[in-house]
Amino acid sequence: MPHPLNDAALDQLFRTARTYNGFTGEVDDATLRQLYDLLKFGPTQANTTPARFVFVKSPEAKAKLGPALAEGNYRKTMAAPVTVIIGRDEDFHEKLPYLFPHADAKSWFDGPREGRGKPSLRNSSLQAAYLILAARARAWMPAR
């Protein structure tokens, strides 16, 4: 049975957690897999899980991001050991027979793609937050 998290865990996840602007070191593929394996269990509407994650590590791949970055983010993105691009799949409903098999959830989202824009944005945003919480929970964020 679940139990309440202690104050140290709540501090780590919420109260003392902050956004960091600089990172050092390496992030291996196994760590990224562990991070994804945690965040994928976060709840979304009918298990829609529309977020798509691309972990960008190589200097060559990060250089391709350069033109899309705000000036204030350029240097820290290029210096970071990994950058994640979080997109969303507006055709997420095609996977619902597998992800939500106990109901015909696919039919809830059938129709014009525009009708899936808001649910895909809402649920992919949740998944982005789960990514941050998973990193904090595993203490993959640097100490202040």
State the chain's mean pLDDT as an integer: 92
Tens of pLDDT, residue by residue over 71-98, are 999 999 999 999 999 999 999 999 999 9
For position 139, what pLDDT does the model report? 75
- What percent of the chain is modeled with pLDDT above 70? 97
Phi, psi at 110, each rounded to 5°: -65, 160
7-137 sits in which CATH class? alpha beta
Domain ranges of the chain: 7-137
Residues 118 and 73 sit within 8 Å (Cβ to Cβ): no
Tens of pLDDT, residue by residue over 11-35, are 999 999 987 777 778 889 999 999 9
For position 144, what pLDDT does the model report? 46
Residues 92 and 116 sit within 8 Å (Cβ to Cβ): yes
Answer left, alpha or beta for residue 49, where phi above 0 means left and psi between -120 and 50 means alpha.
Answer: left
Residue 122's Cα: distance from chain center in Å?
12
Residues 107 and 57 sit within 8 Å (Cβ to Cβ): no
For position 140, what pLDDT does the model report? 63
Flag whether the pTM goes above 0.95. no
